[in-house]
Structure 1
Amino acid sequence: MITDHTNPMQKPEQDASGDPNDDYDTPWKDAVTRYFPEFIAFYFPDVHRQIDWPRGHVFLDQELAQIVKDAELGKRLIDKLVRVATHDGDEQWVYVHIEVQGGHDSKFAERLFTYNYRLYDKYRRPIASLAVLADDREHWKPEHYGYELFGCAVGIRFPVVKLLDYEARTETLLDDPNPFAMVTAAQLLTRQTKGDNQKRLAAKWRLAKLLYERNWDKQRIIDLFSVIDWMMQVPPELQKQLWQDIEQLERNRAMPYITSVERIGIEKGMQQGMQQGMQQGMEQGMQQGEAVVLERLLKRRFGPLTPETRARLANASLDQLEHWADNILDAKSLEEVFTNH
């Protein structure tokens, strides 16, 4: 329901502490879609006050995909384009980029800059790029990107939230009624219990009990439990113990929320997400391997490559790399390799 996945999804410049069992991306994506106003209210309260929520909001994921598909900036993660109305009676596009990978990405700010100006070029409407980071690097918090040449300055400055900044307030988060306070707490507790399944199970059970104490409607409890369950993965024997504890809790409270059918759905969703993440990881591995081979061939054919050319190879899609590899056989210059026929 709710980012690496943060994971089995492959992460750019993954931290050494990365745990392949921690999967956040699809849960983050689903949670943002289901509870977008709460997401904005929790992480970006100033933005929330400027949006006229009763007028509704529209997700434009397909439109966003069309705009950024040829950006050649590597595999994109969780991107959301949402149309909202403001209190002044006008309408504006808001582009929300959420990176919940647990990994540092040196091109993050540049990517937001590129997406932002492409969206503006298409819609000619104000675009607000917002970012949430869930990596482990305390001092990495990109907030702007730009350059200046001959007195001409171009760039972007965007609001960014770092989940690590909430770490000292984990207990306070558990008292906050906003669902993303609990999502953030689950993210932090997942990180804090890395490598200790018993502590993770205890933290997961604590969050599950809190869900039932909130007096939320059934669907919200199921949705948020799915988020927590997806984030805080434990071995099957401990997961079985958790289900038994939840069943007892439901009997005691006469709240049969998470039925066997819904449980099967949750578990299937987790399996599908893991399979999807593994597939995406394989594709990115193939892309990286193809880029290395093509770089070696270009060096042998045309000599040393510029940093710009190496960056172009590193950020190209697998299809683009294969196309360039075909071109190298007949190209008389480096420029001809990158020509689309």
Structure 2
Amino acid sequence: MNEPNTNYDSPWKEIIEEYFPQFIEFFFYDAYVEIDWERPYEFLDTELQQLEPDAEIGKRLVDKVAKVWLLNGEEAWVLIHVEVQGQYDSKFPQRMYIYNYRLFDRHKKRVISLAVLADNDVNWRPQSYGYQLGGCRVSLEFPTVKLLDYEAQWQTLEETENPFGLVVMAHLKTKATSQNPESRLQWKLRLVRSLFAKGYNREEIIGLFRFIDWIMFLPKELADSFKVELRNDEEVNRMRYVTSIERLAKEEGVIETLRESVIETLATRFEEVPIRVVEAVNEIDDVAVLKSLFRRAILVSSMAEFEDDLTAF
């Protein structure tokens, strides 16, 4: 089981949108206490099309833009960058700066730039970008959290009721078990079972299960074992929502997101996606097939090769 099998981008995008206040509270408390959460916030991802400084933006990042209201009544913007693929990137601080000033320039509103790093280099901690020339100085400092740091806070992750405790555990264990699918199965079961112990409501359980199930990809045989264990839990412990979460993989929202992931990946790699391919992908409602096609979209060397794979399903 290789790391490319794991799609980090889409699950992180979905979980941030679903639990935005909890995300800010868990990772960036200083920003959390500045925002008026009684007023509605709004995600405006179309803004990213105006902010991207080059074509490579977004390939390694989960980027979210949200419009919020501060406690002082001021409208502000929140820029979130999650380095989900976990790769060192020397241009990351510069991108943080470019996103920030372009958003400010477009709206003339103050901007909060936030970064979550999931790489494996404990020493890489970009927190600023700046330069000076001819007596002129330009700089941006931005708060950064490092997911690696939470390894030393595992008990806190287990005890917190904030859903991002489970999100971080799932992410860290996904990366730690990239070469050990049996261990991933056990951790996946442990994390899913903990959903019920924390007293979450049905919607919260479903949302968090979707993230865990999506990110902690298992080979088919172990995925089947996972389902058997869930059924046993349901029978023994009368866990009311187990049957519901087993069916999550068939929910239209998940299917639609997978379809979009396949098409967007192809568009990023090959620029144009034939309408026949788009239509064929949009007709597929089997999650296992869509996950397989998503992996193929990442790995194939040409659009023709992908179309050959598509006709096999």
Pairwise TM-score range, normalised by the shorter structure: 0.7 to 0.9
- Alignment partner, residue 69 of structure 2: 85
Q: 2:248 matched to 1:263?
A: yes
Specify whether residues 271 and 20 from structure 1 end up closer, same or farther in structure 2 by C-alpha distance, changes over 3 A only: farther
Q: State the alpha-carbon separation in 1 of the partners of residues 260 and 134 from structure 2.
A: 47
Count of aligned positions? 268
Give the Cα–Cα distance (whole angstroms) in 1 for the partners of residues 238 and 72 of structure 2.
47
The counterpart of 2:4, out of the listed 15, 20, 24, is 20
1:211 aligns with 2:160: no
Give the partner amino acid of 2:235. R
Which of residues 73, 91, 100 in structure 2 aligns to 1:107?
Answer: 91
Rate the CA distance shift 1:248–1:267 in 2: closer, same or farther, 3 A.
Answer: farther
Is residue 2:51 matched to residue 1:68?
yes
User: Which of the residues 6, 31, 39 maps onto 1:47?
Assistant: 31
* Structure 2 counterpart of 1:299: none
Q: Is the 8 A contact 2:2 2:179 kept in 1?
A: no
Cα distance in 2, alignment partners of residues 166 and 90 from structure 1: 33
1:49 CA displacement:
1.2
Q: Distance in 2 between matches of 1:140 and 1:227?
A: 27
Question: Who wins on radius of gyration, i.e. which is larger?
Answer: 1
Q: Deviations over 1:190-224 (max 9, x none)?
A: 12222111111111110011001112111110110
| Shift in Å, 1:18 | 6.9
Change (3 A) 1:270 1:258: farther
Task: Quote how far apart the aligned CAs of 1:162 are.
Answer: 0.7
Q: CA RMSD in A?
A: 2.4
- Structure 1 residues 151 and 51, CA, compared in 2 at 3 Å: closer, same or farther? same
Distance 1:46 1:38, change over 3 A: same
Distance, in Å, in 2 between the alignment partners of 1:190 and 1:99 is: 15
Is 1:228 aligned to 2:212, yes or no? yes
Whether contact under 8 Å (1:79, 1:97) holds in the other structure is yes
Residue aligning to 1:317: none
Consecutive unaligned residues of structure 1, counting only runs of 5 or more, are: 1-16, 288-341
Any idea what SS the aligned residue of 1:50 has? coil
Query: What SS does structure 2 have at the residue aligned with 1:81?
Result: strand
Once the two structures are overlaid, the 10-residue window that deviates more, 212-221 or 262-271, is: 262-271
Name the counterpart of 2:302: none
SS at match of 1:125: coil
TM-score, normalization: structure 2?
0.79
Query: Which residue matches 2:143?
Result: 159
Letter in 2 for 1:88: N
CA–CA distance in structure 1, aligned partners of residues 266 and 12 of structure 2? 22
Q: Where does 1:1-341 land on structure 2 (aligned, <5 Å)?
A: 19-62=3-46, 64-69=47-52, 71-72=53-54, 74-76=56-58, 77-259=61-243, 262-265=247-250, 269=254, 273=258, 283-286=267-270
Label 1:25 to 1:66 Cα distance change in 2 as closer, same or farther (>3 A). closer
Deviation at 1:271, TM superposition (A): 9.5
**Quick one: distance in 2 between partners of 1:26 and 1:218?**
22
Change (3 A) 1:18 1:120: farther
Matched-pair contact (CA < 8 Å) for 1:18–1:102: no
The one-letter code matched in structure 1 to 2:250 is G
1:143-177, Cα deviation, whole Å (9 max, x unpaired): 11111110101121100111011112223311111
SS state of the match for residue 114, structure 2?
Answer: strand
For 1:265, the aligned partner's letter is: K
SS at match of 1:147: strand
The SS at the match of 2:138 is strand
Per the TM alignment, residue 46 of structure 1 is displaced from its structure 2 partner at its CA by 1.3
Question: Runs of 4+ in structure 1 displaced over 6 angstroms?
Answer: none
Alpha-carbon contact 2:97-2:129 (below 8 Å) kept? yes
List per-residue Cα deviations over 1:98-137 (Å, max 9, x = no partner). 2211212221111111111111111111111101011111
Q: Is the 8 A contact 2:48 2:65 kept in 1?
A: no
CA contact (8 A) 1:226 1:266 kept: no
Equivalent position amino acid for 1:235 in 2: P
In the aligned structure 2, how far is the partner of 1:266 from the partner of 1:196? 29
The match for 1:337 is none
Q: Deviations over 1:215-251 (max 9, x none)?
A: 2111110110111111111111111111111122123
Alpha carbons of structure 1 residues 151 and 73: separation in structure 2 relative to 1, 3 Å:
farther
Q: Tell me which amino acid in the other structure corresponds to 2:116.
A: V
